[in-house]
Amino acid sequence: MTTLLEGKDILRTDTLTDEELDVILSTAARFEAQLEDEGRLDNMAGQVMAAMFFEPSTRTRLSFESAMHRLGGDVITIADPKTSSAAKGESMADAVKVVQGYADVIVMRHPRKGSAAEAAAAVSIPVINGGDGAGQHPTQALLDTYTIKKEKGTLDGLTVALAGDLKNGRTVHSLVYLLARFDVRLIFVSPAQLKMPGHITEDLVDQGVDVTETDDLAAAMRESDVVYMTRIQKERFDDPEEYERLKGSYVLDMPMVEQAKDGITIMHPLPRVNEIKEEVDAYAGAAYFRQAHNGVPVRMALLALVTGRE
């Protein structure tokens, strides 16, 4: 048992300590094994999770809800802001202040960067960021790290290519800060318009991470143990014509997999639009559906740790 994360918010990955990361990953592995043995646990019996989603989601919301159910807890949900009082103009801060009287932990997704931190400042129960605009998506990054460890056995010594919309993709903004804790080499693959924000690349270089930037996905895949594809984030573009120009930047197909480094693992936070052809799904190293399923034990760990129920 550990109280390391009890009462804490999970808002971003760069502020997580190495010890906290270790505890999250090991607790997730324990829950995954326990689920296989016991089917359902009761750690969160009597606890309520509020899922407040002001942006669309399939995986994050449903895997958090599944995690809470599998821990024996209860769930209340805003799945569509049009059916909440946000549609009447209620502020997000007022909404979370009210909801803290109904729940023991809040999981929130919101289109505005920084919104999860604002929510956390307004309430005294833990807030977990389920994605704040083009900001961060820490729980996705944690399940991505868990997935790489499961698929490859280790993170040390790996070359990881991150490809697509690195400017707006909040999953990669969070993931790189976790990968930086390990002995990894990172290759950022994007069109010039969608490069990783400079301040993030600078942070990584300052931490001694070996980072290369390119627009050539095929070349990056020849050197990489893992390629992490991302969707071009249509909803973050001010100019629809620019989205149309960039949306087909990278389409991973079987000929590209065959030319890649042997045994390459292919990941994607999903949803995919057209970044990975369906023909790739049958490739043994196509890990994106396994990755999505890993969201349940990782989110079980987060819920239990922040409420002191692990």
Interface ranges with ligand CP (CB under 6 A): 57-60, 131, 140, 269-271
Cβ(161)–Cβ(227) below 8 Å: yes
**Catalytic: 299?**
no
The structure tokens listed for 143 are 């399940």
Smallest gap from Cβ 228 to ligand CP, in A, equals 12
**Catalytic: 69?**
no
Smallest gap from Cβ 165 to ligand CP, in A, equals 13
Which of 137, 167, 173, 268 is catalytic? The answer is 137
Nearer to ligand CP, 58 or 274 (CB): 58
Nearer to ligand CP, 59 or 173 (CB): 59
Cβ(200)–Cβ(206) below 8 Å: no
Smallest gap from Cβ 174 to ligand CP, in A, equals 11
Total Cβ atoms within 10 A of residue 147: 23
Nearer to ligand CP, 60 or 294 (CB): 60
Give the whole-angstrom CA distance, residue 204 versus residue 181. Answer: 10
Smallest gap from Cβ 180 to ligand CP, in A, equals 21
Give the residues across from 266 on adjacent strands. Answer: 227, 286
Best CA proximity match to 290, nearest among 154, 129, 143: 143
Smallest gap from Cβ 198 to ligand CP, in A, equals 24
**Catalytic: 137?**
yes
Nearer to ligand CP, 295 or 309 (CB): 295
Concatenate the DSSP letters of all residues of 108-138 into one string.
Answer: EEESSTTHHHHHHHH-SS-EEEEEETTS--H
Which of 8, 12, 13, 60 is catalytic? The answer is 60
Which of 59, 61, 70, 167 is catalytic? The answer is 59
What are phi and psi for residue 203, nearest 5 degrees?
-55, -45
| Residue count of the chain | 310
Nearer to ligand CP, 81 or 269 (CB): 269
The distance of Cα 231 from the centroid of its chain, to the nearest Å, equals 13
Give the whole-angstrom CA distance, residue 108 versus residue 130. Answer: 5
Which of 109, 152, 167, 173 is catalytic? The answer is 109
- CA-based torsion, 238, 118, 126, 136: positive or negative: positive
Smallest gap from Cβ 280 to ligand CP, in A, equals 18
Query: CA angle at residue 177 from 171 to 182, to 5 degrees?
Result: 120
Nearer to ligand CP, 60 or 147 (CB): 60
Q: Enumerate the active-site residues.
A: 59-60, 88, 109, 137
